[in-house]
Amino acid sequence: MHDHRLENWRHNHHFGHDHHHGERRTIWVLLLTLATMVAEIWVGMITHSMALLADGWHMATHAAAFMIALFAYRYGRIHADDQTFAFGPGKVGVLGGFASAVALSVVALMMMVESTLRLFEPQDIHFDQAILVAQLGLVVNLVSALILGVNQHHGHGHHHDHNLRAAYVHVLSDALTSMLAISALLAAKWHGLLWLDPVTGWLGALVILAWGYGLMKDARPILLDESADDALLAEVIKTLESEDDNRVSDIHIWPLGTEAYGVIIALVTRHPKAPLHYKKLLDDYPKLHHVTIEVNGCLGDDCLPMLVNTASNESTATPES
């Protein structure tokens, strides 16, 4: 046993990234959402407006989703160095985004059921109060989207925050349902089209389902440890095999968090070098973390006599002279 220092050979497991700004923005939006939710549900019950009531319950579900997001932020920060997790708690934030997507889908189904019932059992609506509160809800949603969306266009190529994106989608869907509610209430008031109130609930629910599906689709590869896409695998193999007579015999690249991939590679070569040498060949891939490379010397009958790299980076065997 030796007494060398091991710090240079150890990995950290901070794959969730620090999303402190996203956490603070989510808190502000949660407070706005809670206040507006109470107002819309209360006034929706008094005025008998299905569009306004559905929007209020929609916001209630979103408030719960924001709470999930805040839990994910705090949990990931507190347990950043917790060795209980093999590769850190980076996926907790993604799980929070997935839970938000499920909440979106559930509330959409609830809106469909309630809207269908209102088609067959219409109720008298107090339009002026309902329209006023729906307009207030729209303003709150637009302000919330502004708070959350400051960094949305700066996220390309950087660290994406699934919780912040989920919250952003929540308030956008709320803004849509508020606009639909206002339009339906105005049409019902001015033209007597009472059926538009429940139909608006149906239209909003369909859009929300589509957004919820998109969020779940984005989170699924990370939560289920799906392999990286074929293009990235091919690039990594090409990079390693472009040197000497290296051949990649086994490769696994999978997501550890929103913008980090774990890597396990088995490599065969006639001229083996230290694993650190091969890791440096992958320095141009910043998303690759916790890279583990197994280097095997090519010996015996299983080793080809000689490998020659052609201009097209393809390897061919030639007879030994």
What is the spatial distance between Cα 204 and Cα 137, in angstroms, rounded to a whole number? Answer: 15
| Orientation angle between helical segments 50-78 and 162-191, nearest 10 degrees | 170
At 191, which CATH number?
1.20.1510.10
Whether residue 60 is found in the same domain as residue 124: yes
Whether residue 175 is found in the same domain as residue 260: no
Classify 15 as helix, strand or coil: coil
**Domain enclosing residue 298, as ranges:** 230-317
pLDDT of residue 155: 41
pLDDT of residue 174: 77
Nearest to 97 by CA among 17, 25, 166: 166
Q: Residue 31: inside a domain, yes or no?
A: yes
Q: Residue 1: inside a domain, yes or no?
A: no
Domain-ending residue, one of 223, 249, 269 = 223
Whether residue 167 is found in the same domain as residue 182: yes
Whether residue 251 is found in the same domain as residue 204: no
How many Cα atoms sit within 13 Å of 284 on the Cβ side? 7
- Measured over the CA atoms of residue 100, residue 106, residue 110 and residue 112, the dihedral's sign is positive
Whether residue 118 is found in the same domain as residue 205: yes
Whether residue 38 is found in the same domain as residue 77: yes
- pTM check: above 0.75: no
Whether residue 181 is found in the same domain as residue 202: yes
Whether residue 203 is found in the same domain as residue 253: no
Q: Report the b/e string of 223-238 with b at 16+ CB within 10 A.
A: eeeeebeeeeeeebbe
Q: Position 119: which residue type?
A: L
Whether residue 269 is found in the same domain as residue 124: no
Total tally of structural domains belonging to the chain: 2
Q: Residue 274: inside a domain, yes or no?
A: yes
Contact indicator for 23, 70 with CB cutoff of 8 Å: yes
Q: How do the pLDDT tens digits run along the chain, 321 residues long?
A: 455 554 554 555 444 444 555 677 778 888 888 988 888 888 888 887 877 877 787 777 778 777 877 877 777 777 766 667 767 777 777 787 788 788 878 888 888 888 888 888 877 788 888 888 888 888 988 888 888 775 444 443 344 556 667 677 778 877 887 888 888 888 888 888 888 888 877 887 787 788 788 878 888 888 888 888 889 999 999 999 998 889 999 999 998 876 788 899 999 998 899 999 999 999 989 888 889 999 998 876 666 655 444 434 444 343 343
